[in-house]
Structure 1
Amino acid sequence: MSSTQHTDTLKNVRTISTLLYWVCAIAIIFQILVVPLVWYAPGWVEASTSQMTVSLADLHALSGWQKYVTMAVMMIPSLVLAYGLYRLRKMFGAFAHNAIFQPEPIRHLKAFGIALLAQTLIKPLTGAATSVLATFHRPAGERVLSIGLSNAEASTLFLGGLIIVIAWVLGEAARIDDENRSFV
């Protein structure tokens, strides 16, 4: 690779990383607000409710402690993913400042992969808890325990695992490169 191509590539990495740094900020805000929006702005989420284990009507019928506990349980996967996106944002910030093969952005990538994996594993459990909490007020025989799994969750599990392995490989490559530099 010529020096000009190398410079252009690094410039592109910095530019795209800066853009993705800000996209991650928007995604973090969305992750934090999505559950409250389900509760307080019904109608805008109708298309995404196919992933929910209970109906919006059941959620909106809740009051008191049930409403707040259910909302808190529903927030858990979103908050885990928001944390992962925060770490991804830090990685893009490091890339934007030329810290490409440094340990810090590699740790952020690994943390994002772990958060993605954790969120995917937690989501069916919180969905089941949400269905129980949302139907707890119903008479016996009408209460529901619902667990939702989809192909998207399986794909996300593999993606999270892939990101973790890539982070390990990059970490090892950076370590070997640092070791080789110390010999010269």
Structure 2
Amino acid sequence: MTSQNLARLSQRMSAVTLLLIIAMLLLNAALWLFPQLSAESGYGFGFGLSNSLSSHLAAGAVFPWWQTLGGILLSSIPLLALAFGLSHLHQLFQSYARGEYFSSAAAVHLGKVGRGVALWVLLDFLCEPLLSLWVTLNAPAGEHLISLSITTPTFVALFLAACISIIARILWQASEVDSENRAFV
């Protein structure tokens, strides 16, 4: 692949990353505002914490506006951490589009992608019990729910976050060696 094709591909991936950030936040809010879209209702949409509580959302539960807004905010907290990581992925692709392959800035962006993914997993784990309690806040006594789950994708995401962080360290070291080599020439 030529450097011009690689630059074009990086620019496209940068744009796709921005679209992904917007789409995931909008889909999360849409599942709260229109619960009939959820996987439990037959439309097949599900996303993050909203998906894990989709049976409550699709069960015909009508939430007051403040509870819906709180649900959107609580389920968006982990997504905002992921959006942080994805925004750095966007910046990394922009650096690559400019031909900055071994820059320390690229390494920093890649490291923040890994941290964003790890923080997303942690916040997802912490927010799920809060969100499940929030959803059942108005339920009669004895029907309150506290949900906590650890799934295989959780471990995969943590593993990938660790790998991305290690690769970022390697890239940072490579950029240092590259800078030293350029200084000698």
| TM-score where L is the length of structure 2 | 0.87
Judge conservation of contact 2:32–2:68 (CA < 8 Å) in 1: no
Residue matched to 1:4: none
- 1:159-178 matched pairs, under 5 angstroms: 159-178=160-179
Residue matched to 2:27: 34
Judge conservation of contact 1:39–1:59 (CA < 8 Å) in 2: no
Structure 1 position 65 matched with structure 2 position 66: yes
SS of residue in 1 equivalent to 2:81: helix
Residue matched to 1:17: 10
Matched residue pairs, number?
177
Divergent runs of 4+, >6 A: none
| Separation of aligned partners in 2, 1:115 and 1:157 | 11
SS of residue in 1 equivalent to 2:142: coil
Structure 1 stretches lacking a partner, 5+ long: 1-7
Moved more, 31-40 or 162-171: 31-40
1:129 to partner: Cα distance: 0.8
Deviations 1:33-74 (A, max 9, x none): 122110223343423269413521468522143322222111
Q: CA RMSD in A?
A: 2.0
- 1:1-184 matched pairs, under 5 angstroms: 8-46=1-39, 47=44, 48=46, 51-53=51-53, 55-57=56-58, 60-184=61-185
| Separation of aligned partners in 2, 1:125 and 1:78 | 13
Judge conservation of contact 1:39–1:60 (CA < 8 Å) in 2: no
1:13 to partner: Cα distance: 2.2
Moved more, 157-166 or 49-58: 49-58
Moved more, 134-143 or 87-96: 134-143
Structure 2 stretches lacking a partner, 5+ long: none
Q: How many percent of aligned residue pairs carry the same amino acid?
A: 29
| Separation of aligned partners in 1, 2:36 and 2:61 | 12
SS of residue in 2 equivalent to 1:147: coil
